[in-house]
């Protein structure tokens, strides 16, 4: 697979807690240079990034990140605020406490509130696979699909594990085709990227692929 095609699937990501505005602008420059799908950045940087890139690049941000245990009202407000500031896409974290309590109706309502607040924008739902049982993964695939999300996403990258080939395969097989899969966390090589895309992922949350592209252009 051509590197240029892989780059088009990448949400070029910087979610470090001490990321500076200059680093965010550099991230945007890199994403535009390599024609990435978007940049994925903290909510506090959305407005500045949008002013910087205008319509040249999609801005993605995170909701209830990385723990997912914000109240539903807070997640909905955070989503509306992010979109007001210029976000084109939002990646929300499910409430894992609700998941572990098997409060499936509450999990569904949590996602639906963010779906309503993000109407007209791309919604990705992070289920944090590394903390889930197989049964919980399957249940969340069904719930996320029924809630009208655009993507189901493997991981925040801030927990004890990232995307695995097994999880991407499971999510692609379980979810209907209109629900796309995003693999994120631990994607450190072109082989990782190619494997996840071959298994059915349509987005990759990573910064490493752009770094590889930069290294190749400097060689």
- Residues marked active site are found at 91, 153, 182
Q: Tokens 């990501």 sit at which residue?
A: 13
Does residue 77 sit in helix, strand or coil? helix
* C-alpha span between 185 and 157 (Å, rounded): 4
- CA 45 remoteness from chain centre: 16
CB 19 within 8 A of CB 41: yes
Q: What is the 3-state secondary structure (H, E, C) of 180-216?
A: EEEEECCCCCHHHHHHHHHCCEEEEEECHHHHHHHHH
User: For residue 17, which of 46, 43, 39, 51 has the smallest C-alpha distance?
Assistant: 43
Burial of 104 (0-12, 13-18, 19+ CB in 10 A): middle
Element (H, E) at 41: strand 38-41
Residue 86 dihedral angles phi and psi, to the nearest 5°: 120, 5
* C-alpha span between 182 and 61 (Å, rounded): 14
């Amino acid at each position: 697979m051509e590197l240029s095609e892989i780059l088009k699937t990448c949400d070029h990501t910087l979610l470090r807690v001490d990321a500076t505005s200059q680093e965010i602008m550099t991230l945007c420059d890199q994403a535009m240079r390599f024609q990435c799908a978007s940049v994925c950045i903290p909510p506090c940087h959305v407005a500045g990034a949008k002013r910087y890139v205008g319509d040249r690049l999609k801005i993605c941000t995170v909701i209830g990140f990385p723990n997912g245990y914000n109240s539903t009202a807070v997640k909905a407000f955070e989503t509306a605020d992010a979109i007001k500031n210029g976000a084109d896409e939002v990646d929300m974290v499910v409430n894992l406490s609700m998941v572990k309590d098997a409060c499936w109706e509450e999990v569904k309502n949590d996602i639906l509130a963010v779906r309503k607040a993000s109407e007209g924008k791309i919604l990705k739902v992070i289920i944090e696979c590394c903390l889930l049982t197989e049964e919980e993964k399957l249940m969340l695939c069904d719930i996320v699909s029924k809630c009208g999300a655009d993507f189901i996403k493997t991981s925040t990258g801030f927990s004890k594990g990232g995307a695995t080939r097994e999880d991407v395969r499971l999510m692609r097989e379980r979810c209907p085709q209109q629900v796309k899969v995003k693999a994120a966390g631990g994607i450190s090589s072109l082989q990782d990227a190619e494997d996840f895309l071959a298994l059915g992922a349509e987005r990759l949350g990573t910064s490493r692929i752009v770094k590889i592209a930069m290294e190749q252009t400097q060689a």
